[in-house]
Every structure is written in C-alpha cells, then in structure tokens.
A and B are shown apart, each in its own frame.
Chain A
Amino acid sequence: MCDSCGCASPVEEDTHTKTVDVNESLFAANESIAKTNREHFEKMGAVAINLISSPGSGKTTLLEHTIEAIGAEFRIGVIEGDIETERDADRIRAKGVPVVQLTTGGACHLDAAMTHKGFHRLQKEPGGDKLDLLFIENVGNLVCPTSFDLGEHYRIVLVSVPEGPDKPVKYPKAFTSSDTFLITKIDLLEHFDFPVDEAKAEALHLNPRLQIFDFSSKTGENFDAWLDYLRELVANFKK
C-alpha cells in the first residue's frame, strides 16, 4: 500500500514521499543552550552583558577603563570573542581580571555553545568562579551577532563618533534587539559630523525602550553615568 495517500495499488516510485511538519525555529538549538548559560550566570550571581559593535568602536577600551574604575567594587570577568587573535584578552588580563579568549576561527559571531564553553573555562581561571559582572565582547560585527542569544541579561550596542550617526538606520536589528546604546569616543565630536541628539532620537524611534549613554573612555567625559548604570544593574540583580 502506498503510504502517502493510502491507496491500495502500487503507484509510481516518485509519489512515495512523506511530508514531516517540523515547525521549529532554526534558532531553537542556540536558544536552549542560551537558557542553560543564563542559569549558569544566575547561579554564580553574575549580571551578563553582551557587547556588540562594528570593529573598533571601542569595546575593549571601554572594558579596560570600566575595570580600572570599578574593578575594586565588583568582581568582573570577561569572555572575549574574536575571529583570530588573543590580543583583546591580553589587554584585559593586564588589568588583572579573569578573562578567556574565544577564537571563532572565521565565524562572524559568538553563539551560545561557544559562550558556554568559554564560561566554564573562565570558571577555572583564578577569581573566575565568583563574579558580579560578566562581560562578553562579541566579534566586531553589527549584523550576525544580533541573531544569537548568548544567555546574556543585557545586550549593549556601541557606535563610535567616527562611524557616523546612521548605524541605527542601516543596522536596525542591532538596536531593536539591544537594551542599551552607547555612543563612544565623544572626545572626537569636534572632528566629525555626528549630531548626538539626532542619533539618539533615531535609535529611540527604532526601539523606545533603549537606554542611551554617550561618553569618552579616553577623556572620561560622561563616563560616570555609564558606571552608575552598571552599579544599578548589579544592585537590581542582587535584590
């Protein structure tokens, strides 16, 4: 009997097909690992933050200065994602906090499985088993990382002044999927045409829930507002 239509007679070979309804997201596998990651982070008591930006927007520099400023207040750990080198991890290690480098070997984003491995490696680093704040620096790319939940509590997107103000319009998903938007390198505002208020309005237009900060890691201008925001995230989390 033909198992596709139930007819009694043998029919031609090519009608013997079977259709399976799956209705499952291709992100389902990633999401289930992301959920495990989130549970791991929470068990440790750490707020996890996923940093996303184009290459060179100032993610690692932000982390260096953040560690210098509040590294004594909070236990900070970092997972660095890069396509090839260990360079960013070396910069963070020099600040004296536990760090692991994930090299994706060509992939343009971190996913939940890589993050999971990285987290367990980080736990084995000195001081890595108990953290208040876990930063995950994603691969420099404004497109691909936005599709992969790593299990973070907050996703933060950075745009630096030299990149220009049109990133929200060009890469909307980075802004609609984030909680926070950081405009970095504002010490360079005098050299670049970057209307800060317009860029903020444009981002809020895409995502009215965004929290927005603008500062310079280099000069420290407005940096305190960012630090206070982190303090608030940790305090809310411990409640």
Chain B
Amino acid sequence: MHEISLVQGLFQQLAELARQNNMTKVVTVTMEIGPLSGVVEDSFRFGFDILSKEDELLRDAELIINSTSVIYRCTSCNTAHESGNQRPDCCTQCGDSFLIAEGGDELILQKVEME
C-alpha cells in the first residue's frame, strides 16, 4: 500500500500550493494515472478519501483521475499497439511476441482548483 505514502506526499504539496496562493480549501484535484505507474487507482482513491477526511484543507475535495494508455511497440517491425492495461500477446502485424511498453507510467498532479 505505497499509495498511502504517495497520497501523503501529494497532500504536503497541496498544502504548500494553498499557502502560496492564499487559499483555504481545495475543491478538485486532477491526476493523471497510467496503467504501468505501479499505482492502483482504487487504492489511491481510498487513501485520498481516508486522509482527506482528517484534513481541513482537503475535506470535501473531489479527486478526478484521468487514465492514460500504453503503447506496446514491436521490437521486430516497430508497429505500435495502443492498449489500456492489457498487454497484447504478440504483434498484430508480424506475430513477434517481444513488445516494449512506452509511456503509461505516469502519476501526475495535473491541476488543483482551490478557493
């Protein structure tokens, strides 16, 4: 459950942002999470819900998660296969089974709406 420690880090960053902008309440937090980030969306959301309840700044804040996709590129013919989190078994063009993942490992705080 490293999601909890990641949420703790996020909350520290949000507290700092609120202080810099003289804001007292976080309304929405928009994150981008890739299927290869090593972060389980549900666990992250769970951590966010639990910890935000104990936090004056974040109580009632809404978490928006945008999921990204992964490109699996064939090492033989270079064909790109876009996918959610399901890795293709082999290349649809040449049948080679060696595909390299590109992207999909994002865990990005995109924007914060505060008041």
Contacts and interface: CB of A to CB of B under 8 A. Distances in A.
B100 interface: yes
Given A26-B9, A204-B98, A18 B114 contact: yes
A147 B39 contact: yes
Contact of B23 (A18, A29, A108, A109): A18
A21 B110 contact: yes
A208 B17 contact: no
A23 B110 contact: yes
Contact of B37 (A21, A147, A209): A147
Interface string A2-14: 0000000000001
Nearest to A21: B111
A124 interface: no
A143 B110 CA distance: 25
A205 B99 CA distance: 7
Interface in B1-22: 1-2, 5-6, 9-10, 13, 17, 21
A22 B38 contact: no
A189 B109 CA distance: 46
Interface residues of A, number: 32
A236 interface: no
A17 B24 CA distance: 10
A120 interface: no
Contacts of B21: 18, 20
18 contacts: A16-B115, A17-B27, A17-B113, A17-B114, A18-B23, A19-B112, A19-B113, A20-B21, A21-B110, A22-B111, A23-B108, A25-B107, A26-B6, A26-B10, A27-B107, A144-B1, A146-B38, A148-B2
Interface of A: 14, 16-27, 29, 107-109, 111, 143-144, 146-148, 172-173, 176, 204-209
Given A19-B111, A176-B36, A204-B98, 20 more contacts: A16-B115, A17-B27, A18-B23, A18-B113, A19-B113, A20-B17, A22-B111, A26-B6, A26-B10, A27-B107, A108-B2, A144-B1, A144-B38, A147-B37, A147-B38, A148-B2, A176-B101, A206-B87, A207-B100, A209-B100
